[in-house]
Amino acid sequence: MKITNIRFAKLIVPLITPFKTSMRTVENIEDLVVIIETDSGQIGYGSAPATPVITGDTHGSIIAAIDLVFKPKLCGMEIDNLNEIIHVIQTSMVNNSSAKAALEIAVYDLWGKMYKAPLYKLLGGGSNTLRTDITISVDNIDKMISDSLLAIDNGFDILKIKIGNNITDDIERVKEINQVVGDKALLRLDVNQGWSPKQTVYAVQLFEKSGIQLELVEQPVKADDFAGLKYISDRVNTPIMADESAFSPKQVIELITHQCVDIINIKLMKTGGISNAIAIAEIAKTYQVECMIGCMLEGSIAVSAAAHLASAKSSTITKIDLDGPSLGRFDPVKGGVLFDQSTIKLNNLPGLGIESIDGLIDI
């Protein structure tokens, strides 16, 4: 099975409610779909969203990287030579993690199709059912409470509360949400780099003294502030998780060996795809550190790949934040992985199992 062409399409899904973090507000899931064609007639699907404030990548930069750098090298390569393809993807260009992720996802999809097996089985096998949390966007307290109650009504029992706009308002948000839903759902906080190390210690110690049980606090400080993460971890009991600080296996080794954080959030768009995500999961396992599998605001092509990985690496990936498809008004992707509110179900179709995609916009 030889790669003959790589082309692009766009997929736009309106959100049920705007997605708001301390870094950005988004109204739609907008994925760049990367389609790899082969001489066998089989097609591999990958995708990537534009997350310029996190990865630095836009749809334009992803297309340029693939067209100018990767495509000329990948066309003609055999899918059977998976390791060689991964080497080309990971070494032909620095950064550009979203382009690498979209390509790797499509290549692994084809690899599964070639061996007629679902990706999670080829990666080692695991459960075909996963449960995800759901994100509650940062907003005024009333809206955050009504979104939280709706999520609980819809069957979610873990809420990822976005904060990080303003420390005083954030503390109030957490206290009030905890009062209303604290006994019905587990709360995780995602600050998206919005606090300083001292603010984080102040807020988390205050939550601990007030008896507010938090599962974890995600990326409280700037991505490059590893010393700040260590300062926090040394002073609070609540587990601290790295997200924007943890792109590469090397960064993860540094975060773990310097005891900066307790948990690592793995996202394919940061790692540059499945191969480095596996490397990070193995590093974390070696140090007995738990991982979360996360996603950007992205649809079910790339999130399916993350779900296959999470299933196969469940000994280390113990927490799941794969709610992207559940935040959209509909899922245009039909086939393999079914995203139904908090439940993610993998079936036994080959690769990612995608059967068809509605509403692809050719570009």
Ligand X SMILES: C[C@H](N)C(=O)N[C@H](CCC(=O)O)C(=O)O
Chain residues binding ligand X by CB under 6 A are 21, 24, 51, 54, 135, 160, 190, 192, 243, 294-297, 321, 323-324
Question: Closest separation between CB of residue 16 and Mg ion, Å?
Answer: 20
Binding site for Mg ion (CB under 5 A): 190, 218, 243
Q: CB-wise, 38 or 51, nearer to ligand X?
A: 51
Q: Which amino acid type is present at position 323?
A: D
Q: Which token pair is 231?
A: 């300062």
Provide the minimum distance between the beta carbon of 22 and Mg ion in the complex, in angstroms, as a whole number.
10
Residue from 296, 307, 297 nearest 338 by CA? 307
Q: Kindly state the smallest distance separating residue 59's Cβ from ligand X, in Å.
A: 14
Q: List residues bridging with 216 in a β-sheet.
A: 188
Closest CB to ligand X among residues 109, 323: 323
CB proximity list for 142: less than 8 A, separation 6 or greater: none
Question: Pick from ligand X, Mg ion, none: which does 263 bind, CB < 5 to 8 A by kind?
Answer: none
Residue of this chain nearest to Mg ion (CB atom):
243
Q: Which residues are part of the catalytic machinery? A: 162, 267
Measured from the CB atom, is 38 or 135 closer to Mg ion? Answer: 135
CB of 80 or CB of 157, closer to ligand X: 157
Q: Rounded distance, CA 201 to CA 31, Å?
A: 37
- List alpha helices for 154-299, DSSP H: 167-181, 197-209, 226-233, 249-257, 268-271, 274-286
Least distance in angstroms from the C-beta of 40 to ligand X: 34
Out of ligand X, Mg ion, none, what residue 20 binds, judged by CB under 5 to 8 A for its kind, is none
Query: Cβ closer to ligand X: 26 or 167?
Result: 26
Cα 6 to Cα 349: distance, rounded to the nearest angstrom:
23
From the CB of 271, what's the least distance to Mg ion, in Å? Answer: 14
Binding site partner of 22, from Mg ion, ligand X, none, Cβ cut-off 5-8 A by kind: none
> Buried b vs exposed e over 131-168: b needs ≥16 C-beta within 10 Å?
ebbbbbbbbeeeebbebbeebbeeebebbbbbbbbebe
Give, in degrees to the nearest 5, the angle at Cα 267 between 265 and 270: 110
Determine the straight-line distance between the first and last CA of the chain, rounded to whole angstroms.
25
Sequential DSSP letters for 196-208:
-HHHHHHHHHHHH
